[in-house]
Amino acid sequence: MPLAVCPECEAEIHVDEDVDKGEIINCEECEVMLEVVGLDPIELDLAPDEEDEDDLEDEREY
Ligand SMILES: [Zn+2]
């Protein structure tokens, strides 16, 4: 099983071999949401916070 590193806490994360780019996984250490941004090697980036996006959309409506 491939290993990736959490950009938040640098913990090693086991990623499914058939994971796809753009998939969201959770770090088991800090429970942050991570997006798969690369597959060879597997790279993870912090996933955008959906709650923040909702807040921004609400502000635009005013
Ligand atoms: Zn982490």
Domain-wise residue ranges, the chain: 3-61
Instruction: Report how far ligand 1's centroid is from the alpha carbon of 13 (Å).
Output: 8
Scanning the structure block, which residue is given the tokens 């499914």? 16
Amino acid sitting at position 46: L
Sign of the alpha-carbon torsion through 1, 17, 6, 34: negative
Instruction: Read off the amino acid at residue 57.
Output: E
Give the Å distance between the CA of 55 and the centre of ligand 1: 25
Report CA(57)–ligand 1 centroid distance (Å): 28
Q: 33 — phi, psi (to 5°)?
A: -85, 130
DSSP-assigned letter for residue 28: T
Reference 28, options 11, 41, 43; nearest CA is 11
pLDDT tens per residue, range 8-46: 999 999 999 899 999 999 999 999 999 999 999 999 999
pTM of the model: 0.74
- Its CATH class, for the domain covering 3-61, is mainly beta
